[in-house]
Amino acid sequence: MDFGKNLQYLRRLSKNLTQEDLAEKLNVSRQTVSKWETGEALPEMDKALELCKIFNCSLDNLFRDVMPVSDKMYSNLRLEKVKAFRYIMHTVLSSCPEDDALNRIFTYAKKFGIENPKVIGWDFPFLSQEQKNVYHMHGYTAALILPDEIKIECKELPIYQQEEHNYAAIHIEHPFDNPFSTIPGAYRTLNDFMKVNGWEHEDKNIIPCFETAGETMDVYIACK
């Protein structure tokens, strides 16, 4: 049973709720919450149901799920207001599209004379079942955020505008040590973070989610 670890995880996602804060909400002592988290005791059913209400989860989530442990791999979990920006983007569909998409965008950055370019990327979702199942393809979009002082006309690619918007975000210090686990885990943690705090996903007229390119990574999911 992973109840204690799950409780710790949910409490930290809930606006850094302390053991004392949670104990006050439940009308129990801090020591009781501590014993729940260390596995020395379990809550009575009425308290378990209160916990589900506080963290917007089910009893199965709380007692049976193996939730991610964010402390070791991730940091700076936050709600961030991302300022408006202009960008160009390039999408590649292949069995391994990320490097090709990113390389093309970095080539554009060099062409425009942009030093230390800020590049982001996200999975391209609009593939047919044949492309995915028969040809084992997936899509990836890389985008170059254009500095305000750079005025360019790009005939090859249109320039897009993203307005200021709120994003749930998280930092990964070593994303490529185990990328097939660490990066999806960051998205799962952000989804949990949003659910616990009652924030809904936004996917209209906005980049729904993206990650920064580099040796370290920040992952973002748009919130309403």
Q: Which residue in 212, 88, 107 sits closest to 152, CA to CA?
A: 88
> Is beta strand 118-124 parallel, antiparallel or unpaired with respect to 74-82?
unpaired
3-class secondary structure, 65: coil
pLDDT at 109: 94
The string of pLDDT tens digits covering residues 69-98 is: 655 678 899 999 999 999 999 999 998 899
Q: What is the mean pLDDT of residues 112-119?
A: 94
**Separation CA 122–CA 92 (nearest Å):** 11
User: Which of 28-32, 182-186, 216-220 has the least mean pLDDT?
Assistant: 182-186
Q: Check residues 196 and 136 and name the one with the higher pLDDT.
A: 196
Q: If you search the block for the tokens 């939730």, which residue do you land on? A: 67
Q: How confident is the model at residue 179 (pLDDT cuts 50, 70, 90)?
A: confident
Query: What pTM, to 2 d.p., does this model score?
Result: 0.83
Split at pLDDT 50, 70, 90, the class of 53 is: very high
Residue with tokens 């660490």: 182
Which secondary-structure segment (H or E) carries 124? Answer: strand 118-124
Is the pLDDT confidence value at 50 over 90?
Answer: yes
Compute the mean pLDDT over every residue in the chain, rounded to the nearest whole number. 91
Structure letter (DSSP) for residue 147: P
d(CA 53, CA 48): 9
pLDDT digits (tens, 9 = 90+) for 91-111: 999 988 999 999 999 999 999
* 89-110 residues labelled b (16+ CB within 10 A) or e (exposed): bbbbbbeebbebbbebbbebbe
Q: What is the pLDDT of residues 154-164, one digit of tens each?
A: 777 899 999 99
pLDDT tens digit sequence for 21-32: 999 999 999 999
CA-wise closest residue to 6 among 199, 20, 43: 43
Q: Which of 57, 56, 27 is nearest to 43 (CA)?
A: 27
> What pLDDT score does 73 carry?
77
| 149, amino acid identity | E
> Phi then psi for 59, rounded to 5 degrees?
-65, -40
Alpha-carbon distance 196 to 192, whole Å? 6
Q: How confident is the model at residue 130 (pLDDT cuts 50, 70, 90)?
A: confident
pLDDT for 166 beyond 80: yes
pLDDT of residue 156: 76
> What value, to the nearest 5°, has the Cα angle with vertex 73 and ends 38 and 32?
15
Spatial distance between the Cα atoms of 168 and 9, rounded to a whole number of angstroms = 16
pLDDT value of residue 71: 56
Say yes or no to pLDDT of 135 above 90: no
| pLDDT at position 20 | 94
What dihedral angle (degrees, nearest 10) is formed by the CA atoms of 205, 92, 187, 176?
-150
User: CB within 8 A of 79, min separation 6: which ones?
Assistant: 166, 167, 168, 169, 197, 199, 223
